[in-house]
Amino acid sequence: MNDVDFFFTPPTVDPARHRRDDQSYSVLYLLRREAQDCLIGTVIDEAAVRDYPGDKHRVFASTMVLLSGIDLLGQFLHPTGSVEARFTRFVTTYLYPNDADAAAALYAVRNALMHTFGLQDATRQLSLVLDQPHARGIQPAAVTLLATWR
C-alpha cells in the first residue's frame, strides 16, 4: 500500500490490519478513530455518525480533535506556511471553498478552544449554543459553536 492510501486508511479498518510491520499507524487514521471514539464511543462508517442513534458526548474534546485534524491536513497541504496559513488554506481549499471569513472564524474558534479550552477571542464573539434539550449532562451532542462571521 502506498503512503497516500495508508495515510487515508478508513477508520473502520481493524488496527491490526492497518498497522505496518514497524508498528506505525497513520496519524490521520488514529485521529479519525479518536474523533468517533470521543463523540459516540465507538468507530463506525463516517457517513453514519451524524445519525448514530446512541448517546453523543465529549463534544468539546471531539471538536478539538476535529480542529486538530484540520491542522494536520493543512500541514500536509501547505507545509511551509504559518500555522494560521496552513489552517485557513485547507479550510478555503477543501472545507469551505473560497470562504475566507469562515476560515478566519474557524481559526478563532480553534485558537480559543485549543489554547485555553475557552471561547475568548479579541475580535469575534464566540459562544456555545445548546440545542439538544434532552441530552444528558452539560455536554449535549448538538452543542453548537457559534462564531459570528456573517
Of the pair 13, 77, the CB lying nearest another protein is at 77
Enter the C-alpha cell of residue 102.
469562515
DSSP state of 95: I
How far is 130 from 144, CA to CA, in rounded Å? 6
Enter the C-alpha cell of residue 138.
452539560
Enter the C-alpha cell of residue 4.
497516500
Q: Which of 22, 122, 123, 134 binds another protein (CB under 8 A)?
A: 22
Q: Which of 1, 16, 17, 50 binds another protein (CB under 8 A)?
A: 50
Q: State the number of binding residues for another protein (CB under 8 A).
A: 50
Nearest of 139, 103, 20, 49 to residue 7 by alpha carbon: 20
Point out which residues bind another protein (CB under 8 A).
3-5, 7-8, 20, 22-28, 30, 32, 35, 39, 46-47, 49-50, 56, 59, 62-63, 66, 69-70, 73, 75-79, 90-91, 93-96, 106, 109, 129, 141-147
